[in-house]
Copies of this chain bind each other. A is one copy, B any other.
């Protein structure tokens, strides 16, 4: 409980995670590029750092929650970055979703500082982050995970040890692959059926009846029918993840023909509508093409 925590990256997810750590009684030093977001947490008791290095220097455990590989490279490996401040023996936990190469280069830099590293991307929405109910997919040494566990328990309801360093990143990509496909499948099904005159609610109800039923279809289906595209996870970030998955497939010699099509569908949607809306707005591209709107009748 004596641990000091550095937390870098206060976006949709990071903000909820850092708040929970503060509320759990940890001394948390936060950093965010847009300083205003860090200062909001100051009122809750956080210390605001001037740089990623500064935040890292104040942590026995340091979290990073960043947008993409370039951000990770700059904020962790760059000038005044995390590595510069990281204490020997500290644990860096990167919760960002990145590619295996980026994870490997961070690990290498961490080890050069005689610190330890966990890649720990998360599954779960903004709500789950706020409630401390994320799912963590962790790659790294079991001992390191064991040591970090009390802190990780504050932000998560389930911790999956995926394997050695890099496995968390890879597992997250495998997970988001399926999420992106399910939203694409739901979208194509809803647009096709609605265009044919079916009630979209009936389609969703039918998907829920059988062995394929998933709360995801009810949740995202309702968002679509209510035309509520408030961002839990943006179109832009899902497209980014699909690009990472595609690259991983190339590196590993795995053909991913459906993922390739899903990725391009998100690319089309990003170009035709708002990239910052929730990824369920991918349906808008298909609606625009088919000249139909899927909504509650």
Contacts and interface: CB of A to CB of B under 8 A. Distances in A.
B255 A271 contact: yes
B185 A181 contact: yes
Contacts of A257: 257, 261, 264-265, 267-268
A212 to B, nearest CB: 5
Nearest to A157: B209
Interface in A202-221: 202-203, 205-207, 209-217, 219
A248 interface: yes
Contact of A270 (B137, B186, B206, B253): B253
Interface residues of A, number: 83
A177 interface: yes
A23 interface: no
A290 interface: yes
How many copies of this chain?
Answer: 4
A267 B249 contact: yes
B255 A203 contact: no
B210 A198 contact: no
B195 A258 contact: no
Interface string A111-142: 00000000000011100000000010100000
A255 B268 contact: yes
A101 to B, nearest CB: 10
A123 B170 contact: no
19 contacts: A123-B206, A160-B205, A163-B199, A170-B193, A175-B189, A175-B203, A181-B181, A181-B184, A188-B256, A188-B259, A195-B254, A253-B290, A255-B268, A255-B290, A256-B267, A257-B257, A257-B261, A257-B267, A270-B289
